[in-house]
Structure 1
Amino acid sequence: MSKALLDKAKTLEPMNPNKSTALFGGQSSGILNWNDIKYPHWYQMYKRLVGNYWQADEINMSDDLRQFASLTEEERDAYLRIIGLLSTLDGPQTRTALLLSLYATDPSVQSIMAVIAQQEAVHNESYSYVLSSVVSLDEQNASFQFGRTDPILLKRNEAITEQYNAFVEEPSIENILKTMVYTALLEGMFFYSGFAFFYSLARKNKMVGTSTMISYINRDELEHGRFISELFRATLHENPEMNTEVFSDWVYSRFQESVDLEIEWSKYVLANVDGIDLDEMAGYIKYRANKMLRMMGLDEMYPEHTENPMKWIRAYADNFDGTKTDFFEQKSRQYTKTSDLNGFDDL
């Protein structure tokens, strides 16, 4: 596999064409004409992303403040630990999205990653906003310490930490692809046991403000995961020397490892929470892994988990239809936002 390091994309190179010659390591002028990009359907993805604009303080948390004290001790503990987890994952995403954009030589990718980075910053701010609405400053700070002190969480995040830092140290095509694998896992699977906890509270009419905010984040992450999966496929298509059995085996092993760690984490943080079936949760995690593998153009790993075992989640999150884009056939198919229960298969 190629370890040749990439240079950061030039800001402006007027002698190069406007339409980039490659997503990474190519040539482009730096001038973005959305009507002249290599993957035209990505303009619609950009439009969907910017259409998802929201701010944390738009959500009324007054009922959550009143209800937090009435949660069980186990629910309060899980609430704080899961917020700590989400902040640990979303915080680095802002920087990782920006780093990917720095090495992208396609200006449409640069713009889309800039929007994703901004949304990840909003997500991280929202965790601070939620905690400041329901607990003291000391408790807020303690929750944000979990990502660097909790041994189960440290174990769970060790591999993604190593890969994200490897990309910083060695910005090669290989490390870009591997970073996108972990980003897809993060956007499409790592968050979801945490999301399920907040939706389970909402089922009992508890902490609905928090679950509303989580649903906004969930909607964003579905789009982020979709774009990263497409970017992964396109980058692999443009770099066929990376499309090897060795690399495929690496991807599948990372999915297996990540699923096992996510199940271990869910059992740890949700063990004593009423209303969540841990076996069902494990099945949901495997179902989400299958979804991400398919979106990345790979085979499912868990044939017994092709259906969502936690269908009740669909009532608490925005979602999109399951239309896929096959840019290898140079076809752009329409994505549409769904309402009510239509198209909630993606959850």
Structure 2
Amino acid sequence: MPLTPLLPANDSPITINQGNTGDCYLLASLDCILKSGPEGRQTLKNLFTETEKGIEVRINYNAQSKFLYLEALQEKYGYREDNENHQHVIFIDRKRLEEIDNTPGGVQSNALAVKILEHLIPYFFIAKWDHTQPQASFSAHSGKNRFGTLSEARFVADILNIQTEDYLINQLDDIIKLKDINASQPVYLAMAYGEIDTFGKTHGGHALRLNKIMPNKKEPNRTTFFLINPWHNQEKPEIYTLDEIKQRNAHFSIFNPESSCKDIRSILATLANLRGKPVVVNTKLFDTLLTIKKVNSSLSVPLVEGFLDFNDKFEKSNDFF
């Protein structure tokens, strides 16, 4: 039986249906990364090299490397350290790939890459788990003390060598503004989930992708949030109001496959009257700012404003960019 492809061909959408383990944090993170544009998809693709005998996975040394559960890892996979390139190199043979691809209760996806990461990520958890049990790494997602002091999204980003920014519920206005200037920016969201009891409490947490925010100027507290659930990331979004998001004490993360994007986006969000929005909707403008950032690492608000003023003067008459 042929294996699921690492990633579907022709940039087709990647489907994610969470299985019977507590890895919503991982699947929602991957959903955000894959929705962040070609850079996100390429970042994931770059982890894997297919050979005749299996798949090689390269994970850069990271803050979680000191917790690598090497004893358990080497029982199932080939492993070596590439110190020249500062990478963990994990080899998965065809037999193990077939097991991963057909894990009972595992994530259902048209991307084998997603299934592989579901099995490999737990080897970087802080707490050790009983690796003698069937499907032990898969089940470890539901364990305790997985991430230490890191947020769950930052834990994933650190392993995948991606920059990330975390936002707490008191920074919700920043998230709303970021989505306003770039509606397509995927945002990771984790919150108390499920039915609220008579004491206003919920009894569980869940991670989702924030797909869209619809402002309500007349009743700001009824601003609508559209969330994509990793249980079925192709189905209709779940809808919550601003009040409900606050009540559930949500926190957020934004993944930056291109690390320079973080500084640029932060500056754009500070500009008045959505001044930075043209940069987001015009990829040439954004790419030009990325180039400027590489030349002048101290990219500032005045510099960006000057760049936008310069573009405004020429775009109508000369179609400058």
TM-score range, shorter chain: under 0.3
TM-score (norm. length: structure 1)? 0.25
As a proportion of its length, which structure holds more helix?
1
